[in-house]
Structure 1
Amino acid sequence: MFRKAVTLLFLLSPAVSYAGLFDSTPELKCGNDNAVTAAKEWIYNEALGRLQQDYIKEPTTLFFDIPQTQYEQQLRAIPVQFSDVITQNPQAENA
């Protein structure tokens, strides 16, 4: 069950990069702030997936029987910062 959940998390993590695609809030606008937030979430999800895939021993414990939630909290505590972010429209303006 846990592996299925991790697999789903890993497979659906790229969906976070499409800021606003699956969100129903009308005030969401896909600008720099949303792109930065989506990138931060993507980095976190990828790091968590690699941690679980490469180092997991049992479904509930990692390294030396330390609870997985403790590692997730430590992973969340790592600061991710972006500066000078520019978002571009991949479509031509005349299209």
Structure 2
Amino acid sequence: MCVPLVEVVALNISQAAEGELYVDDGKSFEFLQGASIHRRFVFSKGKLTSVNMAPTSSRKSQFSSDCIIQRIILLGYIGGSKSVSIEPANQKAKI
């Protein structure tokens, strides 16, 4: 079981930020065989992107998690956005 995650993005004076998220089962050593999630988040030019940081070629084990990012809090954004697009599903939401 996993507590829903809240991602806080604190922008610098250039309206940019970056950080990483790492999740594993918290009890075994299966992460040594690649059983984990490792994502890098970058906010730049008004867009938040996420890329997989785990090397897929070395992953011998699959890892799935019930953890979800329930909320993203964006601190210090000067722009006036009123909606977001979630890709690749192309879902739109008002903020």
Relative to the length of structure 2, the TM-score reads 0.24
Relative to the length of structure 1, the TM-score reads 0.24
> Which structure is higher in RCO with an 8 Å CA cutoff and minimum separation 6?
2
* Structure having the larger proportion of residues in strand: 2
- Return the index of the structure with the highest Cα Rg: 1
